[in-house]
Amino acid sequence: MRKYAYHELSLLQYILLIHGTQIGIGVLTLPRELAEHAGTDGWLSMFFGWGVSVLVSLVITNMMKLHPDKTITDLLTLLLGKWLGKVASILMSVYCAIAAIVVVVNSAFIINVWVLSQTPGYIIFMLFAIPIYIIIQGGLRIIARYSELVFYLTLWMPLLLAAALKDANWLHFLPIIKEGWQPILSASIYTVLPFLGFELAYFVYPFLKKKQHASLGIVVANTLTLLVYLHVTIICFAFFSPDEIKQYTWPTLNLWKVIEYSFLERIDIIFLAFYLFILSTTVLTYMYFAVFCTTQVFGNRDHRKHLIVLLLLIFVCLWFYTPSFMDLKKMTDIWSIAGVGFAFVLPVLLFGPIWLLQRKAGGKKA
């Protein structure tokens, strides 16, 4: 019984879907956060974040392997019974919704600051809602294709970013490990949030066509993400002076501001507009799984209605209350905490019971 066969993903799509989800607002702020806590040694912290993420994603993958045709919501229902399972699924949905909302509201806010300073946030959100609806209504298959395409469509960005390297000063990195390992370790907490997104393996695993490569896939996805972050962080650190970088909220965008061509100036505006593509992959996946969970709970087949409700809800909220930059920070923190819970703690807690469940079921069959 293959419930999810229609939306089968190839391995590449699996990798790029997760990778696309991971790369989000983190790219814009990460260099500053690292510089604040570990100076120019911050790039070393990335490896810790990466290592932890890879470990946990492998735990998740192995957990999902025990029940290859079930998503986390099915598993929770199996484990906790019908009603508690539904509650757990709703919690999952809320988590995904929070993630999606944080990213989408942040994007609207950044657009507001950088490009359209007078346009109200809810109107910008409304604009975003058009492609969001068009893509999510097609289901996971379309989202995966989209993530794949966006990956290729945005390959020029890191290359162009390297144009800033002509003004780079590599002396900023020396000496490596200035103050010992302590600040580097403490800064690695900040690399956790940027790696969030791998926990969607909870949901995506059953859709994967070639399940034997799932572990490889998720490691590759995490590594790709690491490379992107390293690239951005190192260029930022080389370009900005270690003390200066702390002045910027979004150093990556400031980096683009400097690049100028004879036919094009102020690339930051164009970059930011195109960066919406990268942000969209994060929003789309989280939002899809938010409505995916609710459709599972309510036994509804059509996720589009749920999606419309969610979009309208966000729109109305933004209409009545425009979040300030402090609210955004708080929201992001909430997401981080929830993310640590869902992505790092949950798999460790669940692995045992699910393994037992598998053994019990296996015993029955035999």
Partner 1 sequence: MRALLRMIWSTVLVVMLSGCMDRIYLEDATLSLMVGLDVNEKNELLVYMTSPVFSEEAKEKSEEYGVRASTIRESRMGFDEIVTALTVSGKIQVLILGQRLLQHPDWFRLLDVVFRDAKFSVNARMVALDGPVSEMFEYRPKDKPRLALHVTKLIDTANYRNLTVKTRAQEFHRQMFEPGITPTITELRKEKRAVKVMGTAMLTENGVYAGLIEPRNTLLLQMMLHEKQGEISVTIPIQEQNDQKSIVAGKISFFVKGVNKKVKTTYRDGKFQFDVQMGLDVSISERMFPYNMEKDYKKLEKMMEAELRKDYDLLVKKCQAAKTDPFGFGLYARAYEYKRWKKIENDWPKAFSEAEVHFKPEVSIKGNGVTK
Partner 2 sequence: MAMRGWLRRKKTSAKDRMSRRSESHYVREIHDQLPDNIAELQRIFTLTPDLVIRQFNSLQVEGQIALVYLRSLADKNSINNNVLRPLLNQREGADKSLFELLSVGKVFTVYNFQSVETEILQGSSVLFIEGRKEALVVETHGWPQRAIEDPQLEASLKGAHQGFVETDAQNIALIRRYIPNRELKIKEIWVGERGATKLSVMFLADVANPDVLQELEDRIKLIEVDTILNTGELEEYIEDNPYSPFPQLITSERPDTVASHLLQGKIAVIVDRSPSVLIGPASFPSFFQNVDDYSTRWLVATFIRMLRYLAFIVATFLPAIYIALISFNYEVIPLDLILSIGESREKVPFPPLLEALLMELTLEMLRESGIRLPAPIGQTVGIVGGIVIGQAVVQAGIVSNIMVIVVAFTAISSFIIPNYDMASAVRFIRFIMMLLAAMFGIVGIVVGLMALIGHLISLESLGVPYGSPLAPVRFSDWKDFIVRSPLWKMMDRPKGTRPIQEKRQGNNRLKGSEK
Q: Which residues of this protein are in contact with partner 2, per CB under 8 A?
A: 10, 12-13, 111, 115-116, 119, 124, 127-128, 130-131, 134-135, 137-138, 142, 144-146, 148-149, 152-153, 261-267, 269-270, 273-274, 276-277, 280
Contact 35, 241 (CB under 8 A): no
Identified binder of partner 1 from the candidate list 3, 5, 84, 247, rule CB under 8 A: 247
Q: Which does 273 bind (CB under 5 to 8 A by kind): partner 2, partner 1, none?
A: partner 2
Q: Which stretch binds partner 1 (CB under 8 A): 69-77, 87-95, 220-228, 238-246?
A: 238-246
Q: Which does 199 bind (CB under 5 to 8 A by kind): partner 2, partner 1, none?
A: none
Contact 128, 112 (CB under 8 A): no
Nearest to partner 2 of 274, 319 (CB atom): 274
Contact 47, 226 (CB under 8 A): yes
Q: Which does 233 bind (CB under 5 to 8 A by kind): partner 2, partner 1, none?
A: none
Q: Which does 135 bind (CB under 5 to 8 A by kind): partner 2, partner 1, none?
A: partner 2
Q: Which stretch binds partner 1 (CB under 8 A): 7-15, 139-147, 174-182, 204-212?
A: 174-182
Contact 59, 348 (CB under 8 A): yes
Identified binder of partner 1 from the candidate list 1, 175, 326, 364, rule CB under 8 A: 175
Distance between CA atoms of 150 and 157, rounded to whole angstroms?
11
**Stretch (H or E) spanning 39:** none
The contact pattern for partner 1, residues 143-172, with x = CB under 8 A and - = no contact, is ------------------------x-x-xx
Q: Which amino acid is at 318?
A: L
**Stretch (H or E) spanning 262:** none
Tokens 């469940």 sit on residue: 357
Contact 170, 34 (CB under 8 A): no
Nearest to partner 1 of 71, 252 (CB atom): 252
Q: Does 326 interact with partner 1 (rule: CB under 8 A)?
A: no
Nearest to partner 2 of 127, 357 (CB atom): 127
What CA dihedral angle connects 29, 31, 32 and 37, to 10 degrees?
Answer: 130
Q: Which does 258 bind (CB under 5 to 8 A by kind): partner 2, partner 1, none?
A: partner 1
Q: Does 123 interact with partner 1 (rule: CB under 8 A)?
A: yes
Q: Which does 146 bind (CB under 5 to 8 A by kind): partner 2, partner 1, none?
A: partner 2
Whose CA is closest to 42, among 227, 197, 224, 229?
229
Shortest distance, CB of residue 150 to partner 2, whole angstroms?
A: 8
In the beta sheet, which residues pair with residue 208? 9
Residues with Cβ < 8 Å from 21, sequence gap 6 or more?
147, 197, 198, 200, 281, 282, 285, 286
In the beta sheet, which residues pair with residue 87? none
Contact 143, 212 (CB under 8 A): no
Tokens 């942000």 sit on residue: 279
Q: Does 36 interact with partner 1 (rule: CB under 8 A)?
A: no
Contact 283, 272 (CB under 8 A): no
Nearest to partner 1 of 139, 242 (CB atom): 242
Nearest to partner 2 of 209, 359 (CB atom): 209
Shortest distance, CB of residue 151 to partner 2, whole angstroms?
A: 9
Nearest to partner 1 of 64, 253 (CB atom): 253
Nearest to partner 1 of 120, 353 (CB atom): 120
DSSP class of residue 344 equals I
Residues with Cβ < 8 Å from 72, sequence gap 6 or more?
64, 92, 202, 203
Q: Which does 322 bind (CB under 5 to 8 A by kind): partner 2, partner 1, none?
A: none
Which residue intervals of 212-345 are DSSP H helices?
214-239, 251-258, 267-298, 303-320, 325-339
Residues contributing to the site for partner 1 (CB under 8 A): 113-120, 123, 126-127, 167, 169, 171-175, 178, 240-244, 247, 253-254, 257-258, 260, 265-266, 268, 305, 308, 312
